[in-house]
Amino acid sequence: MKEYSRHPPIDAECKWVADRCEAHVDGELTSAERHRLLEHAESCSVCSDAILRAERLQRSLSQLPTLRCPDAVTAAVRRRMQAERMAPRSARRRVLIAAGIAASLALLLTFALQRQQDAQRRRQAAMELRA
């Protein structure tokens, strides 16, 4: 849930505006959402102040120098992401291998039982011929 630093939302529309204030200053709202937000702010001083504060904060942040992540950190993050992507595959692969082994054993057992039954039938037929 979003926290509101100065004033809690007054009503549902104020909450809607507060939840989208950051997206507004980042330019992420649709034109319809932007229109709704600005229309509400015209009649609500609390929301208007919140939008102005967010815009000032955005301007201040945009003036900060851009920092570059150290190469070692970037490489570590990439390794971790690669390991996480591979984990589900290797787990899935283990399941498929186990299923393949189980299916092979089931076929082997089926063929072994079939051969045993065929051998018993042949012995039975041979005994009947002798009798």
Predicted pLDDT at 8: 59
Residue 114 forms part of a structural domain = no
Which of 7 and 121 is assigned the larger pLDDT?
A: 121
| Residue 76 domain-assigned (yes or no) | no
| pLDDT, tens digit (0-9, with 9 covering 90-100), for 50-102 | 999 999 999 998 899 988 888 999 999 999 988 877 776 677 778 888 999 99
**What is the 8-class DSSP label of residue 27?**
T
Q: Is residue 99, in this structure, part of any structural domain at all?
A: no
How far apart are alpha carbons 34 and 3 in whole angstroms? 21
What's the domain count of the chain?
1
Which residues, at least 6 apart from 37, have a Cβ–Cβ distance to it below 8 Å? 17, 20, 21, 24, 29, 47, 51
Structural tokens at position 8 = 């809690």
Q: Report the alpha-carbon distance of residue 65 to residue 95 in Å, rounded.
A: 49
Ramachandran class of 34: left when φ > 0, alpha when ψ lies in -120 to 50, beta otherwise: alpha
In a domain, 102, yes or no: no
The pLDDT value recorded for residue 1 is 40
CA proximity to 20, closest of 43, 46, 47: 47
pTM: predicted TM-score of the whole model, two decimal places = 0.47
Residue 105 forms part of a structural domain: no
Residue range of the domain that includes 30:
12-62
